[in-house]
Structure 1
Amino acid sequence: MDPVMSPAADPASGGLTTGAVARLLGVAPTTLRSWDRRYGIGPATREGGRHRRWTGEDIAALRDMCRLTSAGLPPAEAARTVLAGTSRDAPQPRSGRASRAPGPLPLGRARRECRGLARAAVRLDAPAMDELLTAVLDRYGLPAAWDEVMMPTLHAVGRKWETAGERYIEVEHLLSWHVSGALRAFSAARPSAQGAGGTGVSLLACVPGETHTLALEALAATLAQQAVPVRMFGAALPAGALEEAVRRTGPAAVVLWAQSRSTASRSLVARVAAIEWGVRGARRRPVVLVAGPGWAGEPPPGARYPAGLADAVDVLATLGAR
């Protein structure tokens, strides 16, 4: 068993460190320290009088704090409830009104990191999300962090507000913002050459009317990390602007993202695939990849439909090397 997963771990030290408990519960270490300092939800003992060491009883109190804050109670009120020993009998805010907080997300048998990220998102705990996202990117890298942690959590958040009458959309917006920021920071921390147009560049864009960009941001970050030249045009690029960008850059490939069938335009794919450049007798055309659930089923003729982020990276790296 992972030592971080068991409150009984490391008995010789008298308990777990704050960092270990944070990983166990999916809470930022700064949040745990804040709960200790502000509300008295802290360890009974400290190593050398300074360093926090959390026992099984301490961790049980923290679990109650996480449960109550996720159910909508303010941290101060949740702490009073936990310290009074009545947390399991008080799942609602003191006002008596039903909580509008989303509660647990439908993650199934997901990774432990997904559950931690989901709990932080539900609590709108921005510091915890940032720390968890940085940790999974450093530990797994891209695209594994995207495929196994970020994307499953985003899908769970989306399912939650869809099945709840589009309530709690603030959770999805905040999580999306922090995922986007983590991807950009990860890419910026690992700079690579970005070639000029015509040197195997990949052009990434959402089709007109499409605003979901995170999957393309993950692809752009991965390509940049692997020194594959990329141009990311983001959300809802107008068709005319897309065609002009293809003519100006002469890309090896164009990736078009569509989240829904209503935005997946097969005629746009055909127009982009037909654009030519270069000298007479040696003209070239881009390879078009379609990505996203909007293209599910039969992809447009001549277009490639990568199976996932890793597959798209492999295809684009190969095309860019030609």
Structure 2
Amino acid sequence: AGGSAGAEPGVPTGPVEPATSDAPAVTADPLPGEAPAPEPGAHEPVPGDVRMELRGLGRASVRLDSAAMDEIMDSAIARYGLVTAWEEVLAPALHAVGRKWETSDDRYVEVEHLLSWHVSTALRRIVGPVRAGPAEGGTRPVLLACVPHEQHTLPLEALAAGLAELGIPTLMFGGAVPPEALDQAVRRTGPAAVVLWAQARSTANHPLARHVSETSWGVRGARSRTAVLLTGPGWAGRTLGPGMLRPTGLR
């Protein structure tokens, strides 16, 4: 599936206790070189609370209880904010269901699809109120796109929601964006940044990233270029070109 739960490991999550009952067990490791998670503060979840909500989401997913899934996710986002809710509840649940599917002879496919859909829906509810499009005299949008042949969009949707919480407009182009379409989008909107997601090394298109970083727009004598953020595990270990950055998480 385009936003399948089992294939979204690019966003770091902290380790939590395994779920009980029939909910998938959860163990997720941080990205290599990532700093340890900060100690809980005023706006950070208490570890026990996170474990309870993660366990509840896992159980609701296995039961195919869509109403409970929505309630748990909306509550976590409202309580902790999008970034923490994604890193500590939503992404670990997606990882757990994906691992359960991979080790269960194609069982739990229905769980994976339903959970992915409801995570996407919860994220889009946050993005909705923020005006997306070319800013006139204000903040330029951030353009979000999966590289060609890449369909995993949920991490980009999480990023769009996190930017929405900050009031930053985004333009989400989704999965497998053709190079020509991406080029036209950059030239027409003049984005503040372009975020390219690649889940696998086989889809990480470096010539495309280089082309985007070299694309300029505007009137002669005042041409502009954009920063290119290479996100997802597909870009790992690659040399960055001028104007490119390699973030490792939402923070």
4+ residue segments displaced more than 3 Å:
192-195
Contact preservation (8 Å) 1:192, 1:226:
no
Aligned partner of 2:24 among 81, 105, 126? 105
> What is the distance in 2 between the residues matched to 1:152 and 1:142?
14
Gaps of 5+ in 2: 1-18, 29-49
Higher helix proportion: 1
1:270-302 deviation line (CA, Å, top 9, x unaligned): 111111111222211110001111112235323
State whether structure 2 residue 145 is matched by structure 1 residue 226.
Answer: no
> What is the distance in 2 between the residues matched to 1:163 and 1:104?
14
CA RMSD of aligned residues (A): 2.1
1:254 partner SS = strand
Query: What amino acid maps onto 1:130 in structure 2?
Result: D
Aligned twin of 1:170: 110
Contact preservation (8 Å) 1:269, 1:300:
no
1:11-50 matched pairs, under 5 angstroms? none
Query: What amino acid maps onto 2:179 in structure 1?
Result: A
- How far the C-alpha of 1:195 sits from its partner, in A, is 5.5
State whether structure 2 residue 220 is matched by structure 1 residue 280.
Answer: yes
> What is the total number of aligned residue pairs between the two structures?
209
**Cα pair distance change 1:108/1:269, threshold 3 Å:** closer
1:251-262 matched pairs, under 5 angstroms? 251-262=191-202
Aligned partner of 1:129 among 43, 64, 69? 69
State whether structure 2 residue 96 is matched by structure 1 residue 156.
Answer: yes
Query: What amino acid maps onto 1:196 in structure 2?
Result: P
Greater mean deviation of Cα atoms: 301-310 or 158-167? 158-167
Contact preservation (8 Å) 1:204, 1:231:
yes
**Cα pair distance change 1:276/1:186, threshold 3 Å:** closer
Q: TM-score, normalised by structure 2?
A: 0.77
Gaps of 5+ in 1: 1-25, 27-65, 68-102, 311-322
- How far the C-alpha of 1:193 sits from its partner, in A, is 4.3
Aligned twin of 2:250: 309
Contact preservation (8 Å) 2:27, 2:92:
no
Identity of aligned residues (%): 57
> What is the distance in 1 between the residues matched to 2:170 and 2:193?
10
> What is the distance in 2 between the residues matched to 1:259 and 1:185?
24
Q: RCO greater where, 1 or 2, for CA within 8 Å and sep 6 or more?
A: 2
Larger Rg: 1
> What is the distance in 2 between the residues matched to 1:271 and 1:166?
39
Aligned partner of 2:179 among 236, 239, 244? 239
- How far the C-alpha of 1:197 sits from its partner, in A, is 4.8
1:256-271 matched pairs, under 5 angstroms? 256-271=196-211
